Structure 1
Amino acid sequence: MTVSERAASVSVYLDELAQQRRLSPHTVTNYRRDLLSLCSLIAELPGDGGFDSIQTPHIRRFVAQLHTRGLGGRSLGRSLSAWRGFYRWLGQRGAVTHNPVDSVRPPKSPKALPKALSPDEANRLLEVAGENLLAIRDQAMFELFYSSGLRLAELAALDISCLEDLQAGEVRVLGKRSKLRTVPVGSKAREAVAIWAAQRGRLATADEKALFVGQRGQRLGVRMIQLRLARRGLTQGLPARVHPHMLRHSFASHVLQSSGDLRAVQEMLGHASIASTQIYTHLDFQHLATVYDQSHPRAKRKTD
């Protein structure tokens, strides 16, 4: 099997995956990278390079090679998941007789907690007066991120048709796997969006449906949103590089600290499993541990 034939099989698989499971473009891009990496590793082996010639020891060797090149446990886990699904698809079409990935597991890696801003840092990030049109737009975007815990792609995809719902205190977004959810919007975010909506016509082209647009009048891309937020963080003197997912983590952590309602946070974040949301209980515990250390008489260090 030639390199182009292997790549063609990967493309057919990903096309079907995108249409049937409606995966996000970002996920499809990651799967493509993982599967093309598999094709490259297969090409290094002697023989015809067919998918059916790969055995479980080969897969373990591939994982070891990628691990030595710097890939961590999470990245390898994603690669194995992509490979496993691809081989399952090949098996359903009779292209292979076995799935060599089934029994292979990635090496364990330390579980890093998501980074979140403190409430004071979040307020510092957002307490900025809109000095110009782009600053007004940015303020609306960042308030909405923090107010509702939106994903980057969800915010970028918002259209002006959502303004009525926004001013009513909620926003409907299409999340992962085309799952529609409705989340509340706070008063600060509603106010910031209303100010931007009144000015949006100065930038947007006549037929543009996007709520947030760039200087050319068209929908603002995800990369530019990331850059604008990072720049805001630097301007406000925050210690870490601020990115959209950090605001989502901050939203979840702060709501959980105030309410203790894990199910509600799960619903607002759009997590399919409560296990995905439970990571924020660790963040909450860190907060409680800090309070304990500062306040409990037997936790305080004595000073001479």
Structure 2
Amino acid sequence: MKRILIFVILLCISFSVFGQSPEKMSYQAVVRNADGSLVSEQTVGMKISIIKTSTTGTIVYSETHTPTTNTNGLVTFEIGTGSVVNGSFAAIDWGSDSYFIKTETDIDGGTNYTISGTSQFLSVPYALYAKNVFSGDYDDLTNKPKVTEIKTYKIGDFVQGGIVFWVDDTEQHGLVLANVNQSAAMRWHAGTFGNTHAKGNGLYAGKLNTAIIIPSLIAIGDDGDNFAARLCNDLQVIQDGVTYGDWYLPSRLEMNLIYQSRSTINTTAAANSGDALINDVYWTSTENSDNSAYGLDFANGQESTIFKTFPNAVRAIRSF
């Protein structure tokens, strides 16, 4: 018994499974004597069993081999090609449960197996599992898996409540411009000069600017008439049954992006009963000082600071 226990401890088993043919897999083991020396160039008897669910589960397949070790004590053979004891290797459903491999060895080459070891298949033999994967017509399935389509966008698309004028690298998110002008002549302030500190400039910066401007102008002095940021904030657009109500006054950079895509924007607007961009100044939400803010002239692409009392065009945007 001592000889057997020591042998089991020193037994080094390493097997690899790969799809070299539909119904077999490669197996390798290094065989050593009780004293640790290699069993070299000697025929050994081996029995391989495939066990389902647990180490004490049902043996679904077993076979025997009589391989010869090489000078390094290594035996190599293919499971699925031995002398079958019971079961069918081809009938194993590798994807249905956990499976374990049990090896029994007689180093004298017979069937008096005194050494054994069991280990779990940590990965399913791919080529063997793949033969059980559905390969028919998808439309023949009764319960079809749900496939989620990844929607991408491009500049000029008429979606998300308006006209896409910028998309990020994923092409799944971006900015849209309202399909019509909110005003051709609207002031920036609410009737009283004052600093709102809405200095943001960049992608999505207009949203925070707008959120800052409205309460700040009310606090500074609101005469009750409308102004650019509030006009955008109050916008509601219904498209394909969806209401979009998160519009804002663009930042300087966002307005420049609109200008760069103005030709495509105008084409889409015309095709969807919208307004072309006016060849005049549009307000941005980026403030310059207590009495001026930035505007962009669409006649020439020039940006300038303008008194907040001056009536300029307004066009809202939103992010998606």
The question of a shared fold, defined as TM-score above 0.5 by the shorter chain, is answered with no
- Greater helix fraction, Structure 1 or Structure 2: 1
Which TM-score bucket, shorter chain as reference? under 0.3
Higher Cα radius of gyration: 2
Structure with the higher strand share, 1 or 2: 2
Please report the TM-score for the alignment, with normalisation by the length of structure 2: 0.19
